[in-house]
Chain A
Amino acid sequence: MSRRVAITGNEAAAEAMRQINPDVVAAYPITPATEIVQIFADFVANGDVDTEFVAVESEHSAMSATIGASAAGARAMTATASQGLALMWEMLYIAAGLRLPIVAPIVNRALSAPINIHCDHSDTMGARDSGWIQIYSEDAQEAYDNIIQAVRIAEHPDIKLPCMVTMDGFIVSHGMGNAELLDDDVVQKFIGEYKPEHYLLDVDNPITVGALDFSDWYFEHRRQLADAHTRVKDVVLQIAKEFKEISGREYKLFDAYRLDDAEVAIVVINSAAGTAKTVVDQLREKGLKVGLLKIRLFRPFPYEEISEALAGVKAVAVLDRADSLSLMGGPLYIDLRAAMYDAPGPRVKMVNYIYGLGGRDINMEQIAGVYDDLFEIAKTGEIKQAVTYLGVRE
């Protein structure tokens, strides 16, 4: 029987890792992700898992050791946040380039400077071109569910790519929420045994991993990486379908909330979607046709499905919890504008709100204000300001 519990995002991630029971976990503590591996280290010490836990001296080493373990044939995991993910930088690309199905819960936190430990999405947005699959989670339940599904997605024979599952630092990682956890044996049966095709400890079939790959073949191997990403969305949907059978919970590429007949819509990632849905409900009660689209799979970006879902909307506001400093808005806005370029029908008016940097709260009044702006744009057809910094002191 599944268990309904009060749990923080970090506890939920650690619980998912306990149930996955990976062969190797290599990690280094960093706020606000520390608890994930701290709790998991308890599981290791208490003999609750069979995992070889490698306490390393940095996040660069954490990812390096995880890559080594994965290349050796192990089901390997790590977890980090912010500066830790930044320090993993070169190894992220290597994990993806070597096609290693590592799963890593990442707790979203701002990047220095100025130094800050609170939530924004600068860390994982910076890793968006690394070749990792990126799945975002609104709350502890989604983080738990996504981590378990990520194992199947990453290890799928058509994919073989590392996958990071993110949640918002403190807001979700340390906030107590309500979640339903699956039985250990149900999770084990769902993820199954990991059977790598080629691995270093297969002594009967010796291989070379990470060989020099100059101008004669590097391009072909990078082309393969793009090809693997084209298959991700189908696998994500297939795994979501199987996951629904064991959990009753439904996942898609994104979450369309009261979007069908919406005149204006907000697109948002992670925990702010929860606040925004409450605003949507309140405005709907007043008869206003507002909707919301919450991103789940961000890399690869399911641009066709998303642009189709937004095609009938008159005006869209994209809420970014990270800035790109391109002066064209945040990373989600830039991607979505590109996606909407080829959308059928009249051009959808799009604006961007960069919010919540360094953990600045976003409240319901601000989100309602965004919907007000959208109705004005829909009415006049005029965009006065494309990119707005929402909640900053002027």
Chain B
Amino acid sequence: MSAAEKGWKDVPKGGLILDAGNAMEYETGDWRTYKPVWDEEKCIHCMICWVFCPDSSIKVEDGKMVGIDYKHCKGCGICSFECPRKAIEMVLETEENGEAGACE
């Protein structure tokens, strides 16, 4: 059962958290206003965005930038600001998804 399908009868009483390691399940990127959009063509994989990202939301595989973790990115724009090739553009979530605050 996904979190969206659960009702008040399905969750532990009193707000207790019964499972360890549950921070992995907590998606903190659902209150972003601006969304970073990565242009793979312009990217030189310098990893400056990865160094600066305060939320570890730059996805990396084999030493290369492969995308952005929108479940945890809060849209601060530091990656876009620091990128030497302007390969990350900040776009309003509302323009991207048609509604405020939508995540992916």
Interface residues of A (CB under 8 A from B): 97-100, 160, 198, 205-211, 213, 216-221, 223-224, 227-228
Instruction: Output the least CB separation between A266 and chain B (Å).
Output: 39
Number of interface residues of B (CB under 8 A): 14
Docked complex Cα distance between A250 and B36 (Å):
69
Q: Is the interface of B mostly helix, strand, loop or mixed?
A: loop
- For A198, give its contact among B11, B16, B20 (CB under 8 Å): B16
The answer to whether A99 and B8 touch across the interface, beta carbons within 8 angstroms, is no
Docked complex Cα distance between A227 and B8 (Å):
10
The answer to whether B16 and A208 touch across the interface, beta carbons within 8 angstroms, is yes
Interface residues of B (CB under 8 A from A): 3, 6-9, 11-18, 20
> For B13, what are the chain A residues with a Cβ–Cβ distance below 8 Å?
99, 160, 221, 224, 228
Docked complex Cα distance between A218 and B8 (Å):
10
- For B8, give its contact among A97, A205, A213, A223 (CB under 8 Å): A223
> For B16, what are the chain A residues with a Cβ–Cβ distance below 8 Å?
98, 198, 207-209, 211
Instruction: Output the least CB separation between A98 and chain B (Å).
Output: 5
Instruction: Output the least CB separation between B30 and chain A (Å).
Output: 9
> For A224, what are the chain B residues with a Cβ–Cβ distance below 8 Å?
8-9, 11, 13-14
Docked complex Cα distance between A208 and B11 (Å):
14
Docked complex Cα distance between A207 and B6 (Å):
20
> For B3, what are the chain A residues with a Cβ–Cβ distance below 8 Å?
216
The 5 A-B residue pairs whose C-beta atoms are closest, nearest first, are: A99-B14, A220-B8, A208-B17, A223-B8, A98-B14
> For B14, what are the chain A residues with a Cβ–Cβ distance below 8 Å?
97-100, 160, 209, 221, 224
The answer to whether A221 and B20 touch across the interface, beta carbons within 8 angstroms, is no
Docked complex Cα distance between A213 and B11 (Å):
12
Q: Taking A221-B13, A224-B13 as given, write out 16 further A-B residue pairs in contact, using a Cβ cutoff of 8 Å, ordered by the A residue number.
A: A97-B14, A97-B15, A98-B16, A160-B14, A206-B20, A207-B17, A208-B16, A213-B15, A216-B3, A217-B15, A218-B15, A220-B7, A220-B8, A221-B8, A224-B9, A227-B9
